[in-house]
Structure formats: C-alpha cells, structure tokens
Amino acid sequence: MSQSYLEKNVETAATAAVGIIIVAHTDYAAALLRTTEFILGPLGDCTSISVDAAFEVAETVQRLNDATQLLDKGAGVLILTDMFGGTPTNLSLALLTTHKVEVVTGVNLPMIIKAFSARALPLKELAELVGEAGKQGIVVAGEMLEHKTPKE
C-alpha cells in the first residue's frame, strides 16, 4: 500500500516540533509547499490542503482534522491560510476550539520559510514571528529603491 503525501512528510523525531499545514484555494497551498521544499530541501511534519469545488466542505473539514491530529506531536500545529474571511481560513478557525492550533492568514513564502526555520519555538510565539515575517516580506520595490537611490 502506498503512503499518502501527508504520511510521507511526517517525521518521527523524538523532539516535537510544531506541525505545519498550508490551506488555500485550489492548488495554491501545494505550490507554496513545493516551492518551499525547492528552497529548503525536503520537509517533514507538514502538508498542504486544497479547498476547491472538487471536495465537499465536510470532506475538507475531515482532511483538516486528520492532518492536524497526525501532525501534532505535542507542540501543536501552525495553520497558514491564504486570506482572512475565505473558506480555507473559516474552516481552519473551527479547529481552534478542538485542537492545539494557531491560524495565521495571508500566507506568503517568507512566512513559510520562517515557520520552518523557527518551528522549535512555542506555537503562539511561532505564529507571531511568522505573521511578522509575512508583513516584512511585502515590499513595494520601486518605492523602496526610490528612497535608497540618490537624487541628482
């Protein structure tokens, strides 16, 4: 029997690190996770979940629940979603009362890289750090360069 992507990406390390789930519309979450692995190399204790018309809401909720239970080795699970108010976030927020999770919205690549590099931190602290990394990763390049280029 072949292992699912989720099962292949679950570490069995003795030290518990925060599990990470990326949840987004269509294949955005999977693409972000693949991109992160391209940059950082193979990653464990993580998965992506797509929210789209191919899955009923109840099935998506079950996938989120299953992933959270599998990835929580005691340190909790950080759930990164695409946008506040969207279905991926709304479904993820439902886990706040039943699991040890933190949900951070507006996922971007700097957030994900920070999450994987600091996942030994306590869950709440990691969530705050990841949120800051996401904000700092948003730059209007032209404006920034304009301020750094000497005017003649």
* All structural domains of the chain with their residue ranges: 5-148
CATH topology of domain 5-148: Rossmann fold (3.40.50)
Percent of the chain with pLDDT over 90: 80
The arithmetic mean of pLDDT across residues 97-125, rounded, is: 97
In angstroms, rounded to a whole number, what is the distance separating the alpha carbons of residues 77 and 48?
13
Question: What is the reported pLDDT for 3?
Answer: 45
| Residue 95: strand pairing partners | none
Question: What is the reported pLDDT for 152?
Answer: 55
**pLDDT at residue 10 is higher than 60:** no
pLDDT in tens, 21-45: 999 999 999 999 999 999 999 999 9
- The pLDDT confidence band at residue 15, using thresholds 50, 70 and 90, is low
- DSSP strand E in the chain: where? 19-25, 46-51, 77-81, 101-105
Higher pLDDT, 72 or 146: 72
Tell me if 112 sits within 8 A of 22, measured CB to CB.
Answer: yes
Residues 6+ apart with CB under 8 A from 13: 44, 73
| Residue 97: strand pairing partners | none
Tell me if 134 sits within 8 A of 106, measured CB to CB.
Answer: yes
Question: What is the reported pLDDT for 149?
Answer: 64
**pLDDT at residue 8 is higher than 60:** no
**pLDDT at residue 60 is higher than 80:** yes
**pLDDT at residue 13 is higher than 90:** no
**pLDDT at residue 20 is higher than 90:** yes
In angstroms, rounded to a whole number, what is the distance separating the alpha carbons of residues 21 and 92?
10
